[in-house]
Amino acid sequence: MLDNEIIWDKQRFTRYIIFITMAGLSLFLVKAYADGVMVRFYGTLLMLAILTTTLVIQRFNHLWPPHLLLITLFSALNFSTMADGGFESFSITAFVVIPLMALLISNRITAMTWLIIITITLLGYYGAFQLGIHIPNLTPDEKEADHTLLRVLGLLFGVYYLGVSYRHISKLYSEQVKYKVALLKTEVDKRQQAEKSAQQALSLI
């Protein structure tokens, strides 16, 4: 079995994801303030504070930061979806990133857990929509196009970064497989040589 910690530094990747998420949230923070949507402004500010705390925690504990990052991102997307009209919000499509991210920074069980959580969440938004529960869109109509562009670009670059990271992991995994195969072959060659030497020694007795 291959050692995942050797081929992939999850802590460093988690740190990069936190920085990227904070950069994206900072743009939304400025946008919310410019649009005068103070509920979104203070909510985004809270998410940034949590992510900053997560970076500090990571210096002392490597177990909790990935989960705190996923919980914060899940909360941010829920907040954005609720502020943008619920099921009809574009933000709801960004939930697909969370299981992929969980797979890279944690493990398959965590990713599967988040897949179930998000499925239930989406069904909840869909059920509310079908029941006629109206969730108001806080984004001013004249700012909706700008807000949509920002969300699309955020999702685009987020998915791209996850794809590049997966490609990098696959390459490292392939290189480690080749390395271990080479070590195994070297060990087999040494044993064969030792057995051959032993047989030659016995034939001289």
DSSP summary character for residue 143: G
Residues 102 and 111 sit within 8 Å (Cβ to Cβ): yes
Long-range contact set of residues 37-44: C-beta below 8 Å, sequence gap at least 24: 37/83, 37/138, 37/139, 37/140, 39/83, 39/138, 40/79, 40/80, 40/83, 40/138, 43/76, 43/79, 43/83, 44/76, 44/79
Residues 18 and 51 sit within 8 Å (Cβ to Cβ): yes
The pLDDT of 137-142, averaged and rounded, is 77
Amino acid (1-letter code) at residue 31:
K
Give the pLDDT band (50/70/90) at residue 204.
low
Q: Is 148 exposed, middle or buried (0-12, 13-18, 19+ CB in 10 A)?
A: middle
What per-residue confidence (pLDDT) applies to 195? 75
Amino acid (1-letter code) at residue 45:
L
Instruction: Give pTM, 2 decimals.
Output: 0.70
Each residue's pLDDT tens digit, 145-203? 777 787 788 778 877 877 777 777 777 767 777 777 778 888 887 887 877 776 776 66
